[in-house]
Amino acid sequence: MNKPKKVCIILRPTIKDEFKTVVLHLLRWFSKRNVTVCFSLVDKDKIKKYFPQMSFKDNDFCFPHKIADCDFLISLGGDGTLIGLCRQVKTKTPIFGVNWGRLGFITEFNAQSMYENLSKVLNDDYTLVKKPLYNVKILHNEKIIFKERFINDVVISRHDISRLFHLKVECESESLLQLAGDGLIISTPIGSTAYSLAAGGPVVHPDVEAMLMTPICPHGLLHRPIVVPNQFKIKVSLAPQERPVVLTVDGQVYHDIETGYQVIISRNKNENVYFIANEEKTYFHTLKEKFVHNLRS
């Protein structure tokens, strides 16, 4: 790989004074190394509002357009910022995830180690890890009315009054569950430490090729989390006469589900995301740090 010439920074939703200082230092740091910095197009108004002392041109905001022109992307926020970025990236452009949130479980780097590891990236001294993306789509009368990619999880639950409802779950065209409860989480291994874990699901190493189905407060003694191969296709539908529920994707995108709709979840065979790895920590180290010792940012 040639020396990086251009990077794109994706910012967390909220910008406070301390975070503004970090962004300004980062811009100056890259400038000294002759690396061009651009930002996400959705951050355009935010950037011009919080950094009025700097002049930004329209071509400073290229993402998601011309993303292939960038050598790598910097996710500067929490896990949510990184997860949202993963759904948008449709190239093999590597992602350098910096935790500026609370938990920071899937972001590889922290603020203290950011510049040291960015220097390694500029010197072509880094390792890439590939992680799979998954698809969820909603069908009605055999027509796709909603489609989204995800890396963490999809959740089917009530969005108004808290009341159990009934779901039918099929796996590989075979009836698997007639579930009554507060909902269902379908998680990737990366997402196994998120909502699924809080609902009683297992921790699954991200290298395991699987999907998890974790019932939320099931009204049945034998309804327990199930792990299936990620080449399987999962189909979920509401029982007849049920009130509408909501499908939430990665905790960030949602769509209503009604009786007669079918939700289909599957591994996206052709699309992956590529993370720049932090070689100084392992998955189990992070697991202990964040969940056993409860060391959150």
Q: Are domains 6-127+277-292 and 134-269 of this chain identical in fold?
A: no
Confidence at residue 276, expressed as pLDDT on a 0 to 100 scale: 95
Catalytic residue among 43, 79, 153, 182: 79
CATH fold, domain 134-269, is: Tumour Suppressor Smad4 (2.60.200)
Q: Domain residues of the chain, as ranges?
A: 6-127+277-292, 134-269
The structure tokens listed for 86 are 């993963």
| Cβ-based neighbours of 85, under 8 Å, separated by 6 or more | 10, 73, 75, 95
Pairwise CA distance, residues 79 & 84, whole Å: 9
Confidence at residue 8, expressed as pLDDT on a 0 to 100 scale: 92
Walk along the chain (297 residues) and give the pLDDT tens digit of each residue. Answer: 567 889 999 998 877 777 888 889 999 999 999 999 999 888 888 888 888 878 887 778 876 667 778 899 999 988 999 999 999 888 889 999 998 866 678 888 988 889 999 999 999 999 999 999 999 999 999 999 999 999 999 999 998 777 899 999 999 989 999 999 999 999 999 999 999 999 999 999 999 999 999 999 999 888 899 999 999 999 999 999 899 999 999 999 999 999 999 999 999 888 999 999 998 888 888 888 777 655 555
The structure tokens listed for 63 are 């993402």
What architecture does CATH give domain 6-127+277-292? 3-Layer(aba) Sandwich (3.40)
Residues 234-271: tens digit of each pLDDT: 999 999 989 999 999 999 999 999 999 999 999 988 89
| Cβ-based neighbours of 254, under 8 Å, separated by 6 or more | 159, 246, 247, 248
Does residue 79 have an active-site annotation?
yes
Confidence at residue 16, expressed as pLDDT on a 0 to 100 scale: 77
Pairwise CA distance, residues 107 & 78, whole Å: 7
DSSP 243-287: PPEEEEETTTEEEEE-TTEEEEEEEEEEEEEEEEP-TT--HHHHH
HSE-up (13 A, CA, CB side) for residue 176? 21
Pairwise CA distance, residues 15 & 12, whole Å: 7
pTM (2 d.p.)? 0.91
Among 227, 238, 235, which Cα is nearest to 266's? 235
